[in-house]
Structure 1
């Protein structure tokens, strides 16, 4: 058995792998008006397609579909196998309301009922 494959086949396999990662990933990185699809995501960072992604640095927002997941401070660390790899300096979960600075009473009323 031989371990040699022609370069055209290797290029086709790599293109198919990237297309599959793009299709299955819902994660997106928003940098101002620009949006990039995330190929891979892990605890310490994420990877974008090297053809599309610039050397990003600074504050970006990470979305899953339309849901804001994280606000991240990133730095481009390396280019590996056609992917641009970014590492988190800070990764903060996005919330839709301000945090409370006091303990809320469990028996407190939720709303006021008006008089008619």
Structure 2
């Protein structure tokens, strides 16, 4: 059995679904000083609203609110149901501190007091 919906009804359903995703998602992608809300994200990529985003490509930063999640290299995958989908070529998790190049003992002092 197949289901057929008129084109206008399908467009209205897609618009309502995208509006609901936009309200619930805190994710955003920054590219060249431009910011776009991310509708959803999965293991290998993410989707943004097709009407808002140009054909993004290259290096972008992903954020959850103000928290930097990752730096990514992306390519445009496909446009479907009002969403533009992008896939990661690589994604590197962002860290709040720089990585250490030495071993720090768990019981090491935080600071040393001077003599004087």
Structure 1: give runs of 5+ residues left out of the alignment.
Answer: none
RMSD over aligned CA atoms reads 1.9
Shift of 1:112: 2.6
1:51 counterpart SS class: coil
Deviations 1:20-77 (A, max 9, x none): 0000000000012110011110000001111111111111000000000000010111
Structure 2: give runs of 5+ residues left out of the alignment.
Answer: none
Q: TM-score, normalised by structure 2?
A: 0.88
Name the counterpart of 1:22.
22
Q: TM-score, normalised by structure 1?
A: 0.88
Name the counterpart of 1:67.
67
**Inter-partner Cα distance in structure 2 for 1:9 and 1:77:** 26
Shift of 1:19: 0.3
Query: How many matched pairs?
Result: 115
Name the counterpart of 1:10.
10
